[in-house]
Structure 1
């Protein structure tokens, strides 16, 4: 069933692929992406680190938008699961958000995902120790 909901997202016109990552940045499932696992984990870690910065300020963030190598990335965070969608353009956001809402609600009911996410659960701020932010990112994040 996990593949079914990821394919629903992948079938939205303009979506290149989608993957699920744990709260530690480990890729749990990948649908349609020919990008190497290390790059996917780097994308996941970047989103998780941004989320952790908000968390340190007692603010929650459930969605993060990024650009990476001419692709628009939409990340959804929920229950130690990070759902990452890579798109050609942000123009598809309205339809994509509707699809993500439905798919994520079903994915969060999947026992396999819940178990994997539980096995990879961690304190949200621990991901701040992984990887490095670039200078321009640090200046933007300091304004939070």
Structure 2
């Protein structure tokens, strides 16, 4: 059985709808021109923006339907390179890696606890980097706790 878009009536109808949308975009442009000419100079009113958006949408969809028509629903071949070999990660898959990161200071001390200064002077600033956590809870890796 043929798909709905493969029928002759659908192909002609889609192109006719595209031409009708192009005519609508032309009329929207004339309407927008009159609305802009009748308004005071300055910023665009919400009505003008809405008419311009309607004109843009009508022109875009109309041109697409008039030129491509039923070809919009034609199947396309996708190369093996772009086929998903592994599933695309979703938020619930990323939670374990997101919460497995912990801040450490550049001197290698874990959990943001500064190590004793090497030269006896305190640094005015510290650079924090993120590294994968070795354990689930930070207190579990501290000795004596």
Give the TM-score normalised by the residue count of structure 2: 0.22
Pick the structure with greater CA Rg.
2
Structure having the higher helix fraction is 2
Q: Which has the higher strand share?
A: 1
State the TM-score, normalizing by the size of structure 1. 0.22
